Amino acid sequence: MNFLITNMGRCGTAIVLPYRGEFGFICMEHAPQVNAVEGRKIVCLEAGNEALYPGAAVYHHVARRPDGQRRARNESQYMDEIKAEVSSAMPECSKSGVEWIVHDGSAPRKYFIPRPHTPVDVGQVDVVICPRRRTYGSDKNWPYWQELNDKLRGDGLKVYAAGAPDSSFDVRTNAGRSWDHGRFLDATIAAMHAAELVIATDAGLAHLAVMCGKPLVMITHGEGLVAPGQDDVGNDYWPVHMDRYERENHCGSDIELVHHAFADWRGVADRAIRSFCPRPAGAAPAAMTAAPAAMTAVPAGMTAVPAAMTAVPAAMTEAV
């Protein structure tokens, strides 16, 4: 089970077991669900992910599994091991009578803007690229990150590569790479806040960019499909689930799909460069304005992101 676990015993503490699914679901589902839980929280997580659970009173670290093994273990067995580990580490809660409760995907969510748990100085950043490279869903790996990076650098932009060391292409940028820092998620978040634009495929870091309130250019195949080819169980890739992005877009950020990008990377570069074209003083960056219709059109049945979304109250966007 991969959902929120709470302890309703006398110690009055919520105990959150680690979420072992995809990083994107942590951003759009699990972290906001945990953030909605009031009271004292003990969060079990991989070291480095603290920024996604800012309201925790205690962080209990569990071992990080290599990316290729994240789906290879019996989750029920793993969760039993974590329960035993937590009970041993915090006997005062065990004595109170622990009641483990599983929350499903419909649990309340409280969205927030993540901040680095440990400050990271990333310097000047114009564009964050997210060069996903994974064995799982390998057809989603976009092969043109170095070409895109070189083009943006040639136009004078400071490019930063975000991601984890075991799931990213080794792109040579001019503004840094998150996996060169010990706390690569904190570095990724810091770079996204420093940048004007994030470029990603439909993957976890795209959801993180939306959480951070940053304009997002999303690389897609054909007319808005996630990728060419098939997923790991043989299903053809589907249209990007824009409803998910719309639901989590609590800051009203612009989200734009670049179609046919798996066939021609230059359209992604052109779209990014337009965000930094000279503009009149006081004008909003291009990435924050309505995109041309040809670039925002989505296939029938998909939900386009509204041009303007209502921001949630400040109390809902910043963690206490």
Note the pLDDT of residue 78.
75
- Do the beta carbons of residue 226 and residue 140 sit within 8 Å? yes
Residue 4 has pLDDT above 60, yes or no: no
The more confidently predicted of residues 20 and 288 is 20
How many angstroms separate the CA atoms of 176 and 71, rounded? Answer: 30
pTM: 0.82
One of 3.30.70, 1.10.155, 3.40.50, 3.30.360 is the CATH number of 127-317, namely 3.40.50
Structure tokens at 174: 């001019």
Instruction: Indicate the pLDDT class of residue 42, thresholds 50, 70 and 90.
Output: confident
pLDDT at res. 20: 75
pLDDT given at position 100: 59
More confident residue, 137 or 318: 137
Q: How does residue 300 score in pLDDT terms, banded at 50, 70 and 90?
A: very low
| CA distance linking residue 157 with residue 149, whole number of Å | 9
* pLDDT value of position 296: 41
Closest CA to 15 of 52, 47, 56: 56
Helices marked H in the chain: 23-25, 31-36, 75-89, 91-95, 145-154, 184-194, 204-211, 242-248, 266-274, 293-296, 314-317
State residue 63 phi and psi, 5-degree precision: -65, 140
- For residue 69, the model assigns a pLDDT of 62
Mean of the pLDDT values across residues 274-286?
60
Quote the pLDDT of residue 204: 96
Q: What band does 192 get if pLDDT is binned at 50, 70 and 90? A: very high
In the chain, CATH 3.40.50 covers: 127-317
Mean pLDDT of 239-260: 97
In this prediction, residue 82 has a pLDDT band, given cuts at 50, 70 and 90, of confident
Mean predicted confidence (pLDDT) in 68-90: 72
Q: Which stretches of 10-125 are DSSP H helices? A: 23-25, 31-36, 75-89, 91-95
Instruction: Encode pLDDT of 114-163 as tens digits.
Output: 999 999 999 999 999 999 999 889 999 999 999 999 999 999 999 999 99
* Rounded-to-integer distance, Cα 69 and Cα 4, Å: 22
SS3 content of the chain, % helix, strand, coil (to 5): 30, 15, 55
**Lowest mean pLDDT, pick from 182-191, 243-252, 257-266, 288-297:** 288-297
